[in-house]
Amino acid sequence: MGAAVQKHVEIADFTPITPTAAISAAAHGGRAKCLQRLIRLDLPVPRTLALSVDQVRSIAAGRRPYTEQMLHELESPLVSVRPSSESADWGGPAAILNIGMCDRTHADLAVNLGERAADAIYARFIQAFAVHVARLDPEAFDLPARPDATTIASLLDAYETERGATFPQDPADQLADALRSMARSWDGPTARLLRQARGAPAEAGLGLVVQQMALGVGRRHEGESGSGVIQFIDSATGLPQITGRYLSQSQGREALLAEEGAIYLTQDPRGPSLEDIAPEILDTLTAHGTLCRRRLREEMQIEFTIDGGHLAILDAVRVPRSSRAGVRVAVALASDGVIPQAEAVARVEPRALSELLHPQVDPAHPPDVFASGIAASPGAATGRLVFSARAAQAAQAREEPCILVRRETTPDDVRGMHASVGVLTEKGGATSHAAVIARGLGLPCVVGAGGIAIDQRSATLTGDKGRTFREGDWITLDGTGGVALAGAVPLLEPALDDAFRTLLSWADDARDIGVRANADTPAEAQVARTFEAEGIGLCRTEHMFFEGDRLTVMREMIFTDNAEDREAALRRLLPVQRSDFVRLFRIMEGQPVCIRLLDPPLHEFLPAGPDALHDMAESLNLSLRSVTARVEALREFNPMLGMRGVRLGIAIPEIYEMQSRAIFEATVEAGGGVVPEIMVPLVSARREVELVKGRVDAVAAAVKAETGANFDYRLGVMVETPRAALRAEEIAANVAFLSFGTNDLTQMTYGLSRDDAGRFMGAYVAEGVFIEDPFLRLDVDGVGELLTLGAERGRAGHPGITLSVCGEHGGDPESIAFCRAAGFDYVSCSPFRVPLARLAAAQIALRDLGFPR
Amino acid sequence: MGAAVQKHVEIADFTPITPTAAISAAAHGGRAKCLQRLIRLDLPVPRTLALSVDQVRSIAAGRRPYTEQMLHELESPLVSVRPSSESADWGGPAAILNIGMCDRTHADLAVNLGERAADAIYARFIQAFAVHVARLDPEAFDLPARPDATTIASLLDAYETERGATFPQDPADQLADALRSMARSWDGPTARLLRQARGAPAEAGLGLVVQQMALGVGRRHEGESGSGVIQFIDSATGLPQITGRYLSQSQGREALLAEEGAIYLTQDPRGPSLEDIAPEILDTLTAHGTLCRRRLREEMQIEFTIDGGHLAILDAVRVPRSSRAGVRVAVALASDGVIPQAEAVARVEPRALSELLHPQVDPAHPPDVFASGIAASPGAATGRLVFSARAAQAAQAREEPCILVRRETTPDDVRGMHASVGVLTEKGGATSHAAVIARGLGLPCVVGAGGIAIDQRSATLTGDKGRTFREGDWITLDGTGGVALAGAVPLLEPALDDAFRTLLSWADDARDIGVRANADTPAEAQVARTFEAEGIGLCRTEHMFFEGDRLTVMREMIFTDNAEDREAALRRLLPVQRSDFVRLFRIMEGQPVCIRLLDPPLHEFLPAGPDALHDMAESLNLSLRSVTARVEALREFNPMLGMRGVRLGIAIPEIYEMQSRAIFEATVEAGGGVVPEIMVPLVSARREVELVKGRVDAVAAAVKAETGANFDYRLGVMVETPRAALRAEEIAANVAFLSFGTNDLTQMTYGLSRDDAGRFMGAYVAEGVFIEDPFLRLDVDGVGELLTLGAERGRAGHPGITLSVCGEHGGDPESIAFCRAAGFDYVSCSPFRVPLARLAAAQIALRDLGFPR
C-alpha cells in the first residue's frame, strides 16, 4: 500500500460486493449483480469482489490489476475467478479455482486437510493454470487418478519446460495472470462467434468476479465437505422437480462432471443422496431456492459448497432451459403471482417458440435411413439436397425448402443455414459450429455423420450401402433422432402443451394487431387453425395448378388460340379449383380467407429443356416445333417485371373470371361461414383494379342468380409495386383492403431481384453496404416509407380500409413493430410463424406499457 | 316556314358569317373563323353560312337540316359546301360545289352561259354527287372530255340504276344530302385514323360552311372568268415567292389539278400568266395577300374566283408548308415585326423540327440499291431489318436501331413504327397508312417498293436480282430518294439553315432549363455540339467495350479468378477507354461531360449459343465446358434487377477504378478544358455511393500525384431505383449532382420491364388501363412523384445540388415541362432531340408568360 492517491486508484480497480455497493449488470455483468442480490437476501455468499467491464477491458489492454489489494480485501489464501458477462447466455472463459495455491499454501493445506487433499488441489490447480492461463499443451499436464508429491514435482517441471519460466509462486501474480488471461480470451474469435450467435452485440464486454474460495474439501470428522448444484425444475420440461448433483470432497461443478461418486440431492432408490447424509442442508437449500424464486422472480440454479458442514452459496444463475421449459416457467411464475401475466409474455423470446413448433418424423413410417450422426438440434424437416450456402440461398429464393449438406460448416455458411430447413454435416460434434448455429436458428441438425462421403464437384452424397444422392434430391432430416432419411417422409405436427397455449392466450390479451397466416393448401390452413391464426391473409392460387392433371389442363389453356377454347380448358379447371376452396373454407370456417388471383407469368407453367418439351408436345398432341415456338414466345427477359399478376388478368380475363366463380361457388357450397376476400396482384394503376372489379362483381351477380344464394365478399389489392403504394389513395377508393406484399415491393424499391441477389447479398451485408438483408428484415427507411405512405394514402382514399402486410416480413418481430406503428390491421405470415408473430406483437404492445423483454 | 317557335329553331341551324356574327374556331371550325376574318378585312367573300360542330353532329345523327332556309339566306341558285374542322390539318370531306344544279338550273345556265358550260357543270355535279354523296360506283360515272346533253341523260340514267331512285331535282334536297353525307363521313374509320395521326383529339368535331357559288365560268365577252389559288411563299423553303395556278373557265381548285390549260400567276418565260391577261387582278390579289399576312399574322394561301372580271375570295388557309418553311415563316414574320420573337418560338411545333434534322445518305458513297419505291417521308436511317412491330419494339428495348419492313402497315403497326428508325413497305402510295404515319413521326419511309418479296415466316426479304436479306441484317433506308440500300451506309448530317439557328437562339433566350445530350461516342458528341447541347448529360461507357478487340479483353477480365489477373486485363482496357474520353472531351471542350460508370450485368458481354461459346473458348484458350459453366453461372433470372450498376462496382472495384483513372488521365491529356462528371448507376443505398466515392477520390489523388496536374471533377448519382429517390436526402449529402434515369425508374416503379411490356402495352393503352405508355411519356402521377420527392429531398440534403433527368423522357415536351416545374437544372436527351428539347423548353417558359402555341 502506498500514498492516499495510489490507494484511491487501487480501490477503483474492483468493487467489494456488499448489499449497498454500486453494482449493475451493465457495468459489472450479470453474475456480479446476481451475487449482490443473493447477498441482499442474506444468503451465505463468500466475500466477493467485482471487476467491471471497463476494468477488465483495461486489463486485457495490458494494465496490471491490483491483485495484492484484492487478495487483501478477500482475506483468503485461495480465491476463484468467474466470468460475469452482461447475459449468462453469452458465455465467457471457464472459471479458475484455487488461485493462491503455491508451495507455501500447499504446505499449509497439507497441515489442515492432509497431504492427499492438498496434493490433489495443488495438482489440479497447476494443471488448470497451465492449460487455461499459460495456454500450454494439455497433454503435458495429464493427471493420475491420485496425484501425490511426485505428481506435483513433475507438473512443476513440465510447467517450467513448456513455459520457459518457473510456476508463479506469488498468489498476486497468479491472480493477475488469471485475470489477464480471462480478459483476453473474451476477444478471441471463437468466443466472439459463439456469443454473437447467441445474440450478443459486437461491443458486449466481460466483467469478472473474484471470490473467497470455499474449499469443499476437508477432514471428514469436521463435518461434511463437498460441492454441488441444485435447481428446482426440470430443465427440459420446466416442471417442478429438485434436480442436481452433489459430490463430497469436491469443488466447483465437479459434481456435474464426475464419472463416479456424485450423488442425488433428494432420496432416490437408485443410490445415496444429499438428503440421506445432510437433510438439514437440503432443507436450507430448498428454502434458499424458494426465496430466490420469489424475490429474484426467476427459477435459479444454485452452486453451493459445504465446508465442514457449513453451507456457502457461491453463485446462482437462471436455470438453463429448453424453450418449452422457458414457456412453462414463465407461465408458472405468473400463475403463482410471482410476476404479472404480461411479464410472462414479455419474457419469452419469440424466436424460441419456433423450436417448440418443429415437426417430428412420424414414427409410424418405416424409416429409410441413409446416414446417422449426432442429434445436434431437434425437429425434423424435408427438403432438397444442396451442397453449398449459395445453392441454399438460391433454393430459398425459389421458395424451395432445402437441406444443406457440408463436410463441416464455417461462418461463411451461416447465410446458407439461414436459407435451409435443416443441416447435415459429415464432421463435428454437439458443440461444433454447425450444431451451435443450428440450435440458435431452431433448425433440425445432424452432425458428425461420418459414414457419408460428400463430393462437392459433382454435388453428390454417398450414404450407407453406397447409396448416392444428388443435388435437388428430396431427403428428410431427423434432428431429434440424429439420422437422415431418403425421400420426403411424413412429419408429425409438434405437440403444443397447455403452458404454450396459456402464454399465447395471454399474448392475445396484450396484442393489438391481427395475425393471419399465409396458407395455400388445406394442410397449411389446418396448421394456421391449430396455431390460432385469425384467418388466411394470403392464399396463393398458382400452386393449385401445378398438381398432376391440372398442369396439363393449365398448359392446354395457355396454348389455346381463342377465348372459346380457353374457356373450355378453364371450365375443366373450375371444379378442382372450387373443391380446393371448399376445403379451405371449411377448415377456416368463421374466419376470413384472402385469395390472391393468379400471379405468376404463364411460362412458369411450361416446361424447359428438350425432353420436357417433347413430353408436353405429346400430351397436348401438338408438334414439337409449335410447342417450342410458343414456349419461346412466352419467355421473358425479366419475368419478375413481365406479363404477370393483374396484367395477365386483364389480357386473359377468363382466368380471373374462372377463379372468381370457383371462389363464389365454393362460398355457397361451404355454407356461407366464410366471407371470401379476393386479392388482385401486381397492380400499378387504378384502372386495372376497376376492370377486374367490374368482372368479379359480374361473376358474383351471376353466381348469386344461378344459385339463388346470397353471400358477401371483399375485393382488395396486393400492393407490390412502388406505384401502387404511391397511388394508394385512388386505388383504395374502389376496394375493401390493401395488403402490402413486401417481398416484391422490396425487390422493386431496390431494383433488386431476390433470385439474383444471393450472389452478392452476403458481401453487401458483411461490408455494411446494406445494414440488413432487406428480404429478411423490412427496410424501414425505403420500403417502410412506401408502406407508411401507402397506408396513409389508402386511408385518405377510403377511411376505415383494412390494411395489412402479407410478405415474409409479416413474421419478423421488428417488421411487425413497424406495421403496428403504421396503423396496419394485421400481418400475415407462414403458418409456423403465427405463434411467434402473436407473441412478438404482444411484446411490442407491452413495450409501450413499459414491459421490456 | 312555320310558326315563330319553328322559325327560331331554323335560325339556330346555321349562322350567316358577318363581321359581327358569333363565330369561333372551336364552335364552327377554322375555315368559318378564317372567312369571318377575311370579311372583316373587307375582302370580297361571297355570302357564306357557318354550321357549327354541334349542328353537324346532329345532322350526322339524322336530323334533317333546314336547307330551304339556307338557300333562301344565300340568295343564290348554286352553292358550295366545304369542311371546317377546328384545325385545317385534321382533314375532312372533300368540298362539294355547284349544289343546286338540276334540270331547271341547267336550263337557266344554258341561257346565261351557253349549253356547253351548263352541260359541263351539270355533268360534273351529277358525277360528284353520285360518287361523294350517294357513294355510288365511280366507274359508272366516268365523264367524256366534253360532256353534252346525251352525257347528262346517261348520267341521270346511271344514277337511277345504281341508286334505285331518280337524281334529286330539289336543290334543298341536294344540299341536305350533301350535308348529311359530309357530316357522316367525318366519323368513318379512315377519316378518324388520319386526323388522329395528325394530332386531333378523339372528340374532334367538324363544322361546315355553305357558300354562294362563284361560278368561274362565263361568257368570254363579259370579262375574264376562272379560278385559282395564290400564295406568297414557297411551300418547301418558306422563301418569299408568288406561287399558284390559275385556270380560265374553272371552278374551285381545278387549276391545281388540271393537266393542261392552267397558267402561272406572275409573268413567266415558260408560258402565259394571270399577270399577262389580268394584271389588275394580280395586283389586287397581292394587296390582299399583304393585308392578310399583316392582319392575320400568317402566310395565307388564297382561293379565288374571277367571275366576268370580278374577283371573289372564296377561302384562305394557312399555307401548307414543310417543317423547314414553317420555321422560316415564323422567323420572317417576327423579323418583319408582324409577330414578336417569342410568338415565333411559340408557333413552331417542336416535333416538326425533327424532320429538319434527319440525316441524308452521303451522295459520295456508291449506292448499293436493292429496292426502290415511293419517297414517302424524307431523311435517311440505318438499322437492322425487322419484319414485325413486335420485333421492332424488342429491338428498341435493346437500344438497337431497326427498320421495319411490312407488306403494308395497319394501325397495329403504329407502335412498331414508333420503335423503328425507318419504314419500308411493299405496297401503298404516298398517302398510304405507312406514309402518313411515318411523316407524322418524322421517320424516313419508302412505300410501294413492289420489287421486293417479303416472307414473314422465315423473316426474309428478297430484293433486286434476288438478293436476300434476313431479320437482323443492316440496311439503310433513303426516304428522300425512295430507295433501300444494303448495309450501313455513311449518312450526312442535315444542313441547318439560318432561320433554324435564329429560331433556336430566340428559344434559348426564353428557355430557363438546361438541355444536354446523351452521347456515348465522339460522333454523337459531335451532333450534340452541332445542335448546341449544353454538354453531355449521359455518356454510357458500356458501348465502348463492345468494339472489336476490346470485347475479347473484357471477356478475359470477366473470366479471371483473381484481382491480379483482372487488373492486368483492365490495364489493357485503360488506354482505349482513356483515348475514347480524350476524344469526347476535346469535342465538348468547355462544357460538362457526365460519364456513367459501367452499368450492365457482365453477362451482356458474353455470347449465347453453342457456336459463339465455342468461339469464345477458342479466343480465351479455355475449355468449352469451363466457358459454358461460367457463362451459365453469370446468367440471371431478372437481369434488370440483378448484379449490375454500382453492385458490380462494389463487387469488382477494379472496374470503376480503371474507368475513373481513364477519365482523370483523359482530363489531363485533353488539357483541362472539361470538368468531368462521374455518375454512379443503380444506387439504392447511401453506403454504396460512399464506397465508390472513396475509391474514385483515391484514384483522382493518385492521378494528380502521378501527373503533377490539377483538375476538378464532380461525382454524382444516377437515381434509377425508387429507393434512391426516397433516400435522396442522405444520398445527396455526399455528391455534386443527382440525375434521374427515368427509364429504369419507370420500370421499377411500375414493376414492369420495358423489354417485356411490348406484349401488352398496346392493348393496355388502347383500353385506357394506362393513359399513356409510361416509357414514352413520363408518368407524372407515379414516377413523377418520385422525381419531385427525390428533387426536394436531394435539395434538403445538399442545397444547391444539380438536378437533372437523363432518361429518354428528357426529350419529351410534357416531361420537360414537368422537370422544369420540379426545379430541375437540365434535361438530357438523344442528340437529335436536342433542338426539339430547346424549343419545347422555351415554349414551356413562354406559356407561363401567356404565349400559347
Domain range for B77: 2-212
Rounded-to-10 torsion of CA B661, B662, B666, B669: 70
Residues in B touching A770 (Cβ below 8 Å): 685, 687
Residue tagged active-site, from A34, A445, A806, A829: A806
Q: At B543, which helix (H) or strand (E)?
A: none
Share of chain B above pLDDT 70, in %: 96
Choose among B123, B218, B640: nearest CA to A641.
Answer: B640
Q: Do B76 and B208 belong together in one domain? A: yes
Give the pLDDT score at B509.
Answer: 95
Q: Is B104 annotated as a binding residue?
A: no
Instruction: Out of A314-328, A608-622, B341-355, pick the least confident.
Output: A608-622
Q: Is the pLDDT of residue B827 over 90?
A: yes
CA-based nearest distance B215→chain A, Å: 56
B368 in any annotated domain: yes
Active site residue A819: no
Q: At A266, which helix (H) or strand (E)?
A: none
Give the pLDDT score at B316.
Answer: 93
Q: Do A422 and A470 belong together in one domain? A: yes
Residue A244 contacts residue A251 (beta carbons within 8 Å): no
Identify the band that residue B853 occupies on the pLDDT scale cut at 50, 70 and 90: low
Final residue of a domain: which of A212, A246, A268?
A212
Final residue of a domain: which of A261, A289, A321?
A321
B696 in any annotated domain: yes
A563: helix, coil or strand? helix
B86 in any annotated domain: yes
Choose among B640, B648, B637, B550: nearest CA to B598.
Answer: B648
Joined grid coordinates for residue B737 = 449532382
Q: Which residues contact B378 (CB under 8 A, 6 or more apart)?
A: B355, B358, B444, B479, B480
Q: Do B642 and A753 touch (CB under 8 A)?
A: yes
Residue B613 contacts residue B555 (beta carbons within 8 Å): no
Residues in A touching B638 (Cβ below 8 Å): 638-641, 753, 755-756
According to DSSP, the β-strands at B48-51 and B15-16 are antiparallel
DSSP A255: H
One-letter amino acid for residue B514 of the chain: G
Final residue of a domain: which of B184, B212, B240?
B212
Nearest neighbour of A751 by CB, restricted to B748, B783, B786? B748
Q: Is the pLDDT of residue B92 over 80?
A: yes
Q: Is B290 annotated as a binding residue?
A: no
Residue A747 contacts residue A814 (beta carbons within 8 Å): no
What's the Rg (C-alpha) of chain A?
33
Cα A406 from Cα A425, distance rounded (Å): 5
Q: Do A640 and B638 touch (CB under 8 A)?
A: yes
Q: Do A192 and A261 belong together in one domain? A: no
Choose among B93, B100, B136: nearest CA to B118.
Answer: B100
Please state, rounded to an integer, the average pLDDT across all residues of chain B.
89
Q: Is the pLDDT of residue A343 over 60?
A: yes
Q: Do A169 and A263 belong together in one domain? A: no
A673 in any annotated domain: yes
Cα A114 from Cα A108, distance rounded (Å): 9
Q: Is the pLDDT of residue B683 over 60?
A: yes
DSSP string, A304-357: EEEETTEEEEEEEEEPP--HHHHHHHHHHHHHTTSS-HHHHHHHS-HHHHHHHH
For residue B759, the chain A residue with the least C-alpha distance is: A643
Q: Which residues contact B24 (CB under 8 A, 6 or more apart)?
A: B33
Give the pLDDT score at A58.
Answer: 93
Cα B474 from Cα B485, distance rounded (Å): 9
Q: What is the mean pLDDT of residues B308-315?
A: 94
Cα A809 from Cα A746, distance rounded (Å): 10
Identify the band that residue B466 occupies on the pLDDT scale cut at 50, 70 and 90: confident
Q: Do A82 and A204 belong together in one domain? A: yes
Q: What residues pair up with A680 in beta bridges, in sequence order?
A: A717
Residue B245 contacts residue B256 (beta carbons within 8 Å): yes
Give the pLDDT score at A8.
Answer: 39
Give the pLDDT score at B623.
Answer: 85
pLDDT digits (tens, 9 = 90+) for A1-23: 333 333 334 446 899 999 999 99
**Count of structural domains, chain B:** 4
Query: What CATH number corresponds to the domain at position A844?
Result: 3.20.20.60
Q: Is the pLDDT of residue B8 over 50?
A: no
Residue B437 contacts residue B398 (beta carbons within 8 Å): no
Q: Do B840 and B719 belong together in one domain? A: yes
Share of chain A above pLDDT 70, in %: 96
Chain B contact probe: residue of A603, A723, A759, A786 with most B CBs at under 10 A? A723
pLDDT digits (tens, 9 = 90+) for A683-704: 999 999 999 999 999 999 999 9
Instruction: List, in sequence order, the alpha helices (H) in A496-546.
Output: 498-510, 522-530
Give the pLDDT score at B565.
Answer: 87
User: Which region holds residue A576: left if phi is over 0, alpha if psi is between -120 and 50, else beta?
Assistant: alpha
Q: Is the pLDDT of residue A279 over 80?
A: yes
Q: At B290, which helix (H) or strand (E)?
A: helix B279-296
Give the pLDDT score at A202.
Answer: 83
B506 in any annotated domain: no
Give the pLDDT score at A807.
Answer: 83
B148 in any annotated domain: yes
Say if residue B790 is exposed, middle or buried (CB neighbours under 10 Å; 0-12, 13-18, 19+). buried
Chain B contact probe: residue of A637, A690, A760, A767 with most B CBs at under 10 A? A637
Residue B405 contacts residue B510 (beta carbons within 8 Å): no
Give the pLDDT score at B1.
Answer: 38
Q: Is A98 annotated as a binding residue?
A: no
For cell 413410417, the residue is: A365
Give backbone dihedrals phi and psi of A147, rounded to 5 degrees, phi first. -65, 145
Q: Is B744 annotated as a binding residue?
A: yes
Cα B454 from Cα B562, distance rounded (Å): 51
| CA geometry: angle B189, B190, B194, nearest 5 deg | 115
Q: At B127, which helix (H) or strand (E)?
A: helix B115-128
Cα A526 from Cα A832, distance rounded (Å): 11
Share of chain A above pLDDT 90, in %: 59
CA-based nearest distance B823→chain A, Å: 21
Give the pLDDT score at A671.
Answer: 86
Chain B contact probe: residue of A393, A599, A630, A638 with most B CBs at under 10 A? A638
Q: Do B271 and B313 belong together in one domain? A: yes
Residue A406 contacts residue A423 (beta carbons within 8 Å): yes
First to last CA, chain A: 45
Residue A525 contacts residue A514 (beta carbons within 8 Å): no
Q: Is the pLDDT of residue B3 over 50?
A: no
Q: At B266, which helix (H) or strand (E)?
A: none
Q: What is the pTM assigned to this prediction?
A: 0.76
One-letter amino acid for residue B73 of the chain: E
Q: Do B421 and B520 belong together in one domain? A: no
Q: Is the pLDDT of residue A798 over 90?
A: yes
Query: Which residues of B belong to the active site?
Result: 433, 806
Query: What CATH number corresponds to the domain at position B419?
Result: 3.50.30.10
Joined grid coordinates for residue A715 = 375485393
Q: Is the pLDDT of residue B606 over 90?
A: no
Count of CB atoms situated within 10 Å of the CB of B705? 9
Q: Is the pLDDT of residue B7 over 60?
A: no
Identify the band that residue A314 occupies on the pLDDT scale cut at 50, 70 and 90: very high
Q: Do B32 and B79 belong together in one domain? A: yes
Choose among A50, A69, A51: nearest CA to A60.
Answer: A51
Q: Do A285 and A420 belong together in one domain? A: no
Q: Do A417 and A284 belong together in one domain? A: no
Q: What is the mean pLDDT of residues A142-152?
A: 91
Q: Do B682 and A760 touch (CB under 8 A)?
A: no
Residue A464 contacts residue A367 (beta carbons within 8 Å): no
Say if residue B316 is exposed, middle or buried (CB neighbours under 10 Å; 0-12, 13-18, 19+). buried
Q: Do A208 and A230 belong together in one domain? A: no
Q: Is the pLDDT of residue B222 over 90?
A: no
pLDDT digits (tens, 9 = 90+) for A647-695: 999 989 999 999 999 999 999 999 877 899 999 999 999 999 999 999 9
B673 in any annotated domain: yes
Instruction: Out of A351-365, A564-578, B642-656, B732-746, pick the least confident.
Output: A351-365
Give the pLDDT score at A757.
Answer: 82
Residue A754 contacts residue A792 (beta carbons within 8 Å): no
| CA geometry: angle A100, A101, A103, nearest 5 deg | 120
Cα B530 from Cα B520, distance rounded (Å): 15
Q: Do B638 and A759 touch (CB under 8 A)?
A: no
Instruction: List, in sequence order, the alpha helices (H) in A114-165.
Output: 115-128, 149-163
Cα B680 from Cα B597, distance rounded (Å): 6
A332 in any annotated domain: no
Give the pLDDT score at A53.
Answer: 94
Joined grid coordinates for residue B541 = 461507357
Instruction: Out of A726-740, B110-124, B145-159, B618-632, pick the least confident.
Output: B618-632
According to DSSP, the β-strands at A206-212 and A48-51 are antiparallel
Query: What CATH number corresponds to the domain at position A294?
Result: 3.30.470.20
